[in-house]
Amino acid sequence: MGRLVALSLLGIGLALLGERFLALRNRLKASREVESVDLPNCHLIKGIEAGAEDIDVLPNGLAFFSVGLKFPGLHSFAPDKPGGIMMMDLKEEKPRALELRVSWGFDLASFNPHGISTFIDGDDTVYLFVVNHPEFKNTVEIFKFEEEENSLLHLKTIKHELLPSVNDIIAVGPAHFYATNDHYFSDPFLKYLETYLNLRWANVVYYSPDEVKLVAEGFDSANGINISPDKKYVYVADILAHEIHVLEKQPNMNLTQLKVLQLGTLVDNLSIDPSSGDIWVGCHPNGQKLFVYDPNHPPSSEVLRIQNILSEKPSVTTVYINNGSVLQGSSVATIYDRKLLVGTLYQRALYCEL
């Protein structure tokens, strides 16, 4: 009788593991293949060879790129080179990417930038917020951008127990931000277990010098985050649930869910067109190819444009798709004056004139 019970329990366990494995493949869109949707007037950006995971553009056309991300389980084309921040002036006739110098005293050797966000203060000071993973830990770095010197002055490193697995960030003050945790745990094995079991413990945290608090939770894997031009709504991409959540910002900085937009792809970082409020999304058509890298079947890229997200029927347009022959693993897309930038997790970046 005892052996029968043990055998039954083993069978139930194996069945559960098999069901979770199939569910994970579905969440990763592991069987999806795409046909390319090309854009004219595009070229790869010289100098970006190992990823531009996130991009943020100032109103004056200066675009910041976080480059060289290393992440457990992800391929890297430059595993021994630290990451950095690059900049491109989109108002130039032929814009070029250049690497910004970082102030003395900051540990550049372990710089591993992920999501980024800019904030312009009332005195026109520009702050750059960077999610950093030195030695695969989690910090948020705040820099002051010094345009005349093309440099970043490091101001502050932020660590907090409510920021165990930070992915992306949106600055809402000179030392204030919302951040996504793509996992509840910081330990790599527990992260994997959390993802495999689909625990939906990922969350969003609000940080200020006076208060740090959890403001939204229940995500499969909270990823990109941004805010509407009128600062009333916060958008969160849940990459493995293929969703964008629209959250209403309250006077106390808490977030309440307003609606969820379902999409058929893995949504990564979100960028906002300040003039229209349109959301531009870098997406992964097949997430499994990101983690099981095969140069003969590389990860594909996809860019979506979402218009009128607050309406009953938002418009979702596929702007660009590539099967990996040009661009692998698109993680962000942003628009400025009919110029489109598309960054990737660990490969190249694309510049297009629309």
Tokens of 34: 């795409």
Query: Tokens in use for 19?
Result: 């069901």
Residue type, 130: V
Residue 78 neighbours by CB distance under 10 Å: 14
The span from the CA of 54 to the CA of 119, in Å, is: 15
Phi-psi map region of 277: left, alpha, beta (phi>0 left; psi -120 to 50 alpha): left
Q: At what angle do helices 2-27 and 188-196 cross, to 10 degrees?
A: 90
Catalytic residue annotation = 114
Hey, what amino acid is at 63?
A: A
Q: Is the dihedral of CA 262, 265, 268, 269 positive or negative?
A: negative
pLDDT tens sequence across 51-95 = 999 999 999 999 999 999 998 889 999 999 999 999 999 999 999
In tens digits, the chain (354 residues) has pLDDT values of 565 555 555 555 555 666 777 888 999 999 999 998 999 999 999 999 999 999 999 999 999 999 999 988 899 999 999 999 999 999 999 999 999 999 988 999 999 999 999 999 999 999 999 999 999 999 999 999 999 999 999 999 999 999 999 999 999 999 999 999 999 999 999 999 999 999 999 999 999 999 999 999 999 999 999 999 999 999 999 999 999 999 999 999 999 999 999 999 999 999 999 999 999 999 999 999 999 999 999 999 999 999 999 999 999 999 999 999 999 999 999 999 999 999 999 999 999 999
3-class secondary-structure state, position 214: strand
Q: Which residues are annotated as a binding site?
A: 53-54, 116, 167-168, 223, 268-269
Cite the annotated binding site for Ca(2+) by residue number.
53-54, 116, 167-168, 223, 268-269
Type of residue found at 79: P
The structure's pTM equals 0.95
Separation in Å, CA 336 to CA 90, 143, 173: 8, 23, 23
The pLDDT tens digits of the residues spanning 257-316 come to: 999 999 999 999 999 999 999 999 999 999 999 999 999 999 999 999 999 999 999 999
